[in-house]
Amino acid sequence: MSFLNILILLAPIFFVIALGWFAGHFGSYDAKSAKGVSTLVTKYALPAHFVSSILSTPKDKFYSQIPLMISLIVGIVGFYVIILLILRFLFKYDLTNASMFSLNSAQPTFAFMGIPVLGSLFGMQEVAIPIAITGIVVNAMLDPLAIIVGTVGRSSKKQDENNNESIWKVTGKSILHGLSEPLAFAPLASIILVLLGLQIPELPQKMLDMLGDTTSGIALFAVGVTVGIRNIKFSIPALSIALLKVAAQPALMFVIAMIFGLSSADMTKAVLLVAFPGSAVAAMIATNFESQEAETASAFVISAVLSIISLPILIAITA
């Protein structure tokens, strides 16, 4: 695929993001209304798309996705752990700050850009399972792990026992919260049903598709709105998080994909899934911890802008 064809492929995607930025930057949306748009995507439209696509997929196809799933676990959760250890022991960050920095360096905005970008390359049906797997990895593994580590770090600073919870209670609550998120629960439940031999009837599939087919445009618009309402702080931590997200993590995933012997198509999917900009959800988790707030919010915006350059290059290299 030529570089010009890649730019033509991505032009509609970045146009919708730019339109969302215009709406957010010039006041059509504020933080509350922007969250409403994001909620529509993450809790309704994208889960509906997952259920419809996965339950219409033959179960044999899932077994062929195991190497891709392992690669994504290593490339996302493993990358988080690597950055966490470097920050903790080399740069002497405390656990909470290290966890929030690492989370925002490792978590992609797959829920918003996965369907439109990968769907344009491979077709909507072909990318449903990889994106669903990413949702499970992020929501059921990465986010709970980051929350657990962040909570341990925060609790270690507090002397008031009333503010401390046991590590087992924190772990259980974090995992259950992650699994309760529609982006984790919907694909996981659908995969289990398919492996049990169940398929979705035509009428329920059409009903789900009525909502699920709106995912691409709304998701991209939501990314633009979120970027538009945020202020950018060009600090070294913010720039570092953004560069780790759009450059270092895709490079590591490329190596991991080669080690696991992924096909050319699966390698492209894996690299692009982690190459998307940082996640607004990860930035919100940092805000909840009152840790790296300005840095992670700025990194989300910076990585979104850098992806305009990085995504065409990565597609040209891997596709």
Return d(Cα 298, Cα 234) in angstroms, integer: 7
Return d(Cα 227, Cα 249) in angstroms, integer: 21
Helix (H, G, I), strand (E, B) or coil at 7: helix
pLDDT tens digits for 7-29? 888 999 899 999 999 999 998 99
Letter for the amino acid at 58?
Answer: P
Helix (H, G, I), strand (E, B) or coil at 59: coil
pLDDT tens digits for 88-108? 999 999 999 999 999 999 999
> Does the structure show a pLDDT above 80 at 299?
yes
**Residues 163-193 as b or e (16 or more Cβ within 10 Å = b):** ebeeeeebbeebbeebeebbbbbbbbbbbeb
Q: Give the distance between the most distant pair of CA atoms in the chain.
A: 61
pLDDT tens digits for 211-242? 998 888 998 899 899 889 888 889 999 999 99
High-pLDDT (> 70) share of the chain, %: 96
What separation in angstroms does the CA of 108 have from each of 90, 200, 220, 299? 25, 29, 14, 12
Does the pTM of the predicted model rise above 0.75? yes
Least trusted range by pLDDT, from 70-79, 84-93, 112-121, 168-177: 168-177
Fold classification of 3-157+185-318 (topology level): Na+/H+ antiporter like fold (1.20.1530)
242 touches 302 (CB < 8 A): yes
> Does the structure show a pLDDT above 80 at 73?
yes
Higher pLDDT residue, 261 or 154?
261
Q: How confident is the model at residue 158 (pLDDT cuts 50, 70, 90)?
A: low
